[in-house]
Structure 1
């Protein structure tokens, strides 16, 4: 009996230690966001004051957020980002679901080679095709456009790989029965495969929206007019305009971060389910 109690106590201690370690890591990850919000509501003169305090000496939130929303067209920047992320995600889902279904549930010559190319594409940094794409867009007079912002991301090797692993787990017998009943391949995908893959689709959607909402590298290359600037690029120009005024700058960063938090909170259940249930098979 004493041995059982000892084992239970050890398990409880190990569980508490694991949770404590996770809380520590979570605190380290959240610390920059806490500092961002504090800087957004503090008087700019108090942000770097000594000693550091989590309690603002004087709330300066109205002034900081007001300046962030008026000194630069933040609404336009966020609208541009919304257009880009929705356009990219829509095309990515169409192309990736179709390609993943073909690689997972159809047999054709060169299938293994194509999947190998998808894996190879995962290893190619986004910076590698940047120069040839920029030259092509410049010669086609497509710079400073939504198309130039979205086109490089229409193909997602990660999405194809993720969906393929999920689609391979779908029972082949159901697909065969649907074909016998006269379902076309498009109907099988839309009526059987996609509803079963909603968690994986939600998980990828969160990844895609987050990546392209926060992307600064590619917009910095192809956009140099205010009308087509995305939120991170607009924030960079706002920083140049504001100089060292960190209060309004952090207020602007808070504004463009809030939509991502909202997206994750809405999709968190599907996101966790999609990440945990999509195995490598």
Structure 2
């Protein structure tokens, strides 16, 4: 049954539409610029619809001037490895803190909260020196290892697991399951909304990360998508902003598609992590 179109509802819809338009404006401008040639981009008039569609030429440049498939593959490998390691570490840690009784629980909770306050920038120099000494620069290890433990992931799963009924875990223990079996066969199957929500956060953050790859990668064979765009701009594109916007569109499109496909699970995960059991 549709709701009546009241003045308050019209105002809310207009406000939400305006907010969405503000947030989408850069992406809309990027799509528009990706279809323009150089002369039109720097013309005095501003038009979102290209006068002469140059999408084919700009996308051809974006795909040929740098190894775009290799950049996308590196992004998938790095983000996938980071996500798997983060979930494998965070789920058991969060389960132990949420459902097991032990003396160091409060200390670990304080450590998690403290870890949320420490940015990667603070540890960048010692990590770089360590990877240099181990001859691991320009490798997937250097790109993945510093992010294998996510305190944000532990905190997110902790809130989710606290909302799960204790009776479910007690029943599993009565059936003779070990704690590892409970995590694998009870906790994880019921935690997919939280895992999906965390996956969106993790993949978006590391797919778009430029700071750390810029430090540890100088070989284009290991370049992630944002670093590849930087190489593209610096070495090949020059002031060819149409091709640059086409390259950026190619790199950001997988994230947009992934979010649209997972948005229902994402909202469920965020909503349920706010519940208290």
TM-score between both structures, scaled by the size of structure 1: 0.94
Deviations 1:148-192 (A, max 9, x none): 000111010111001001101111122112112101111111221
The Cα offsets for residues 48-79 of structure 1, whole Å up to 9 and x where unpaired, read as 32220122110001100000100111111111
Partner of residue 123, structure 1: 117
Given candidates 106, 111, 114, the residue that maps to 1:112 is: 106
RMSD: 1.3
Instruction: Give 3-state SS (helix, strand or coil) of 1:41's partner.
Output: coil
- Residue 44 of structure 1: how far off its partner (Å): 2.0
Where in structure 2 are there 5+ consecutive unaligned residues? none
Matches within 5 A, 1:237-256: 237-240=231-234, 241-256=236-251
Counterparts of 1:140 and 1:32, CA distance in 2: 41
**Equivalent residues in 2 for 1:1-281 (5 A)?**
12-240=6-234, 241-279=236-274, 281=276
Contact 2:163 2:275 in 1 (8 A): no
- Structure 1: stretches of 5+ with no match in the other structure: 1-7
Q: State the Cα deviation string for residues 246-273 of structure 1 (Å, max 9, x = none).
A: 0000000000011111111221110111
Q: CA deviation at 1:280?
A: 5.7
Q: Summarize deviations over 1:72-129 as a string: whole Å, max 9, x none.
A: 1111111111110000000001000010000000111211000110011001122001
What per-residue deviation string (whole Å, max 9, x for no partner) do you get for residues 5-38 of structure 1? xxx99x9222221221111111010000001111
Q: Which runs of 4+ in 1 moved over 6 A?
A: none
**Matched residues in 2 for 1:245 and 1:60: separation?**
12
Q: TM-score, normalised by structure 2?
A: 0.96
Looking at structure 2, the residues matched to 24 and 59 of structure 1 have their Cα atoms a distance apart, in angstroms, of 28
- Provide the rounded CA distance (Å) in 2 between the counterparts of 1:191 and 1:48: 59
